[in-house]
């Protein structure tokens, strides 16, 4: 006799439309109040820093709390960093537009894994439109194609896999490495390039780091020497990576010279434009990426300066065929043939099969605000970088590392003995963090420590920079 399976009432309540409507309305009000407060109240902290162990204890206690969900959400807001605060100038994380965040609610509710077309029909079509739009801005022709993936690290790894497929012996995918492969890259490149090369099995020896010049761009005069040295060591160099821009200083490599060198030496030319590649949308600043259209592959993060919640990255190939060749293997339950070139089955070209509906978040921004909204944001953030640099140069007791090309500005307080300048600036940053008034980070440039700002919020203005320098000066006088 067949037994009836009873649906537990709590499981049914998980999907209650009336609960969704009630809680959703309450949560939107909480989030709207949060935005209003962090954008308009300067005294509201950017971050309420807590010791990691204390934070862990706090949330362990919350597990047994009987407070309602709005109280829980408010605690999350209070105990998180506020990127919408104009005095957030720390890591390279987008200040997401409201419409992209609301689109995230739609994508989370639908939960379509878009690696296979029928699991994400709308999302895959929108992804094609978005990536074609990016390809056109890069300057690629009709043979270009790409996709969205979860972050610059994964995108750069995928691009180097494509480089290996194109330039290494064809047997690597099936038989593994029979020779030592290598990649040329600036010493200023993001650490994920080093990590990707190691994942690919190149080892430390296969990551050939070219020194940078005084502007922290790859020193192109050393390319020939380093390539020959690698060959003499028995390495097969398959790729050259350009930075647009570097992570520490925001400096753009000479992409045209790199492109010519790669062509002349039969190397795959890849550009890590995760942070600064978005200038392809800007008439004012796109000169920084002159030569980007000559690259075999380009990475651009929408979750840096393109107003989109993390993670959301475009990987675009100059020749679409290269993207399809990267992962050629059988998956009969997903598609009939691996050899067919189907833009709508992105699982053929990415690590991800159950891929998020990333395209909706980007497309919704363009649809609501127009194609030029990315340009407006890029111009604003880069203009602010120049404003801040000028203020630093005019302020006694401060030193600017270099005139910034991007929105990344490195500086330090110098009105102290040189032998303690590193530890002193580190203490300034720590004091700022604990105060919560501003959020900035720090970096090592050679052996010197600098305070580092990434201006990510278009609502930040000149008065915020003046207030930051005033606060640093006040902290310095207190410490002295």
Mean pLDDT of the chain: 92
Distance CA 400, CA 381 (A): 18
- Which of 125-129, 301-305, 320-324, 380-384 shows the lowest per-residue confidence on average (mean pLDDT)? 320-324
pLDDT at 323: 81
Which domain CATH number covers 443? Answer: 3.90.1150.170
Band (pLDDT 50/70/90 cuts) for residue 480 is confident
Domain termination site, one of 319, 334, 369: 369
Q: Looking at the domain assignment, is residue 105 inside a domain?
A: no
- Rounded to 5°, the CA angle 259-263-264 comes to 115
Residue 331 in this model has a pLDDT that exceeds 70: no
Do 361 and 384 have their domain in common?
Answer: no
Band (pLDDT 50/70/90 cuts) for residue 1 is very low
**Nearest CA among 122, 125, 157, 130 for reference residue 351:** 157
Is the bond into 188 cis (omega within 30 degrees of 0)? no
Which domain CATH number covers 197? Answer: 3.40.640.10
C-alpha dihedral over 207, 210, 214, 216, to 10 degrees? -40
Q: Distance between alpha carbon 194 and the CA centroid of its chain, in Å?
A: 16
Distance CA 311, CA 391 (A): 33
Domain termination site, one of 313, 337, 369: 369
Residue 339 in this model has a pLDDT that exceeds 60: no
pLDDT at 340: 61
Q: Looking at the domain assignment, is residue 103 inside a domain?
A: no
Q: Looking at the domain assignment, is residue 415 inside a domain?
A: yes
Do 214 and 139 have their domain in common?
Answer: yes
**How many structural domains does the chain have?**
2
Q: Looking at the domain assignment, is residue 3 inside a domain?
A: no
Burial level of 5, CB count in 10 A (0-12/13-18/19+)? exposed
* Structural domain boundaries enclosing 443: 37-96+373-480
pLDDT at 345: 79
Number of continuous H segments (helices) and E segments (strands) in the chain: 17, 11
Do 338 and 440 have their domain in common?
Answer: no
Q: How many Å from the N-terminal Cα to the C-terminal Cα in the chain?
A: 84
Do 149 and 45 have their domain in common?
Answer: no
Residue 333 in this model has a pLDDT that exceeds 50: no
Annotate 256-311 with DSSP letters as a single string.
HHHHHHHHHTT-EEEEE-TTTGGGGG-TTTGGGGTTGGG-SEEEEEHHHHSS-PSS
Counting Cα atoms < 13 Å in the Cβ hemisphere of 76 gives: 9
Highest average pLDDT, of 3-7, 113-117, 230-234, 321-325, comes from 230-234
pLDDT in tens, 188-229: 998 899 998 898 889 999 999 999 999 999 999 999 999 999
pLDDT in tens, 64-96: 888 899 999 999 999 999 999 999 999 999 999
Do 361 and 385 have their domain in common?
Answer: no
Mean pLDDT of 365-375: 97
Q: Looking at the domain assignment, is residue 26 inside a domain?
A: no
Do 388 and 469 have their domain in common?
Answer: yes
Band (pLDDT 50/70/90 cuts) for residue 170 is low
Do 320 and 351 have their domain in common?
Answer: yes
Residue 41 in this model has a pLDDT that exceeds 80: no
Do 308 and 448 have their domain in common?
Answer: no
Mean pLDDT of 374-383: 98
pLDDT in tens, 46-61: 999 999 999 999 999 9
Do 243 and 129 have their domain in common?
Answer: yes
Do 349 and 247 have their domain in common?
Answer: yes
**Alpha helices (H) along 79-237:** 98-110, 121-138, 152-167, 172-175, 191-199, 223-232
Q: β-pairing, 441-445 with 408-413?
A: unpaired
Residue 38 in this model has a pLDDT that exceeds 60: yes
Burial 71-104 (b: 16+ CB within 10 A, else e): eebeeeeeeebbbbbbbbbbebbbbbbebbbebb
Please tell me the pTM assigned to this model. Answer: 0.94
Burial level of 116, CB count in 10 A (0-12/13-18/19+)? buried
pLDDT at 328: 61
pLDDT in tens, 278-293: 999 999 999 999 999 9
Distance CA 290, CA 259 (A): 10
CB-based contact 218:243 (threshold 8 Å): yes
pLDDT at 2: 56
Residue 171 in this model has a pLDDT that exceeds 70: no
Residue 330 in this model has a pLDDT that exceeds 80: no
Mean pLDDT of 144-158: 93
Helix (H, G, I), strand (E, B) or coil at 317: strand
Burial level of 217, CB count in 10 A (0-12/13-18/19+)? buried
Q: Looking at the domain assignment, is residue 32 inside a domain?
A: no
Q: What is the number of residues in the chain? A: 480
CB-based contact 216:452 (threshold 8 Å): no
Q: Looking at the domain assignment, is residue 21 inside a domain?
A: no
Domain termination site, one of 369, 393, 413: 369
Do 380 and 301 have their domain in common?
Answer: no
Do 305 and 359 have their domain in common?
Answer: yes
Q: Looking at the domain assignment, is residue 296 inside a domain?
A: yes
**Nearest CA among 190, 292, 110 for reference residue 207:** 190
Band (pLDDT 50/70/90 cuts) for residue 447 is very high
């Amino acid at each position: 006799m067949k037994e009836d399976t009873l649906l537990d009432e709590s499981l049914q309540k998980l999907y209650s439309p009336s609960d969704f409507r009630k809680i959703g309305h309450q949560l939107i009000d909480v989030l709207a109040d949060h935005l209003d407060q962090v954008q308009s109240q300067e005294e509201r902290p950017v971050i309420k820093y807590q010791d990691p162990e204390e934070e862990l204890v706090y949330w362990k206690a919350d597990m047994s709390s009987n407070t309602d969900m709005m109280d829980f959400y408010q605690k999350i807001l209070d105990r998180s960093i506020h990127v919408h605060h104009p005095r957030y100038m720390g890591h390279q994380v987008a200040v997401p537009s409201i419409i992209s965040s609301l689109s995230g609610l739609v994508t989370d509710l639908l939960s379509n894994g878009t690696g296979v077309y029928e699991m994400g029909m709308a999302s895959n079509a929108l992804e094609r439109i978005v990536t074609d739009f990016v390809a056109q801005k890069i300057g690629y022709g009709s043979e270009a194609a790409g996709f969205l993936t979860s972050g610059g690290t994964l995108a750069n790894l995928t691009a180097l896999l494509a480089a290996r497929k194109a330039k290494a012996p064809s047997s690597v995918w099936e038989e593994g490495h029979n020779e030592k492969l290598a990649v040329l890259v600036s010493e200023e490149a993001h650490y994920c390039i080093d990590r990707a090369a190691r994942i690919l099995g190149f080892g430390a020896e296969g990551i050939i780091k070219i020194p940078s010049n005084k502007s922290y761009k790859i020193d192109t005069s050393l390319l020939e020497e380093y390539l020959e040295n690698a060959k003499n060591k028995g390495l097969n160099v398959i790729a050259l990576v350009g930075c647009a821009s570097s992570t520490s200083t925001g400096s753009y490599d000479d992409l045209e010279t790199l492109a010519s060198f790669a062509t002349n030496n039969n190397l795959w030319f890849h550009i890590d434009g995760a942070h600064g590649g978005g200038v392809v949308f800007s008439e004012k600043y796109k000169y920084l990426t002159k030569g980007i259209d000559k690259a075999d592959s380009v990475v651009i993060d929408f979750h840096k300066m393109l107003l989109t919640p993390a993670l959301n990255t475009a990987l675009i190939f100059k020749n679409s065929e290269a993207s399809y060749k990267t992962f050629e293997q059988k998956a009969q339950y997903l598609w009939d043939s691996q050899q067919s070139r189907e833009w709508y089955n992105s699982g053929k070209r990415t690590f991800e099969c159950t891929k998020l509906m990333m395209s909706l978040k980007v497309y919704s921004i363009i649809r609501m605000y127009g194609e030029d909204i990315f340009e407006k944001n890029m111009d604003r953030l880069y203009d602010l970088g120049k404003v801040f640099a000028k203020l630093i140069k005019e302020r006694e007791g401060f030193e600017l590392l270099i005139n910034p090309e991007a929105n990344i500005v490195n500086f330090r307080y110098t009105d102290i003995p040189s032998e303690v300048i590193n530890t002193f600036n580190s203490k300034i940053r720590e004091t700022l963090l604990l105060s919560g008034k501003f959020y900035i980070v720090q970096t090592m440039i050679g052996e010197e420590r600098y305070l580092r700002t990434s201006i990510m919020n278009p609502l930040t203005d000149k008065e915020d920079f003046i207030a930051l320098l005033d606060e640093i000066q006040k902290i310095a006088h207190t410490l002295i």
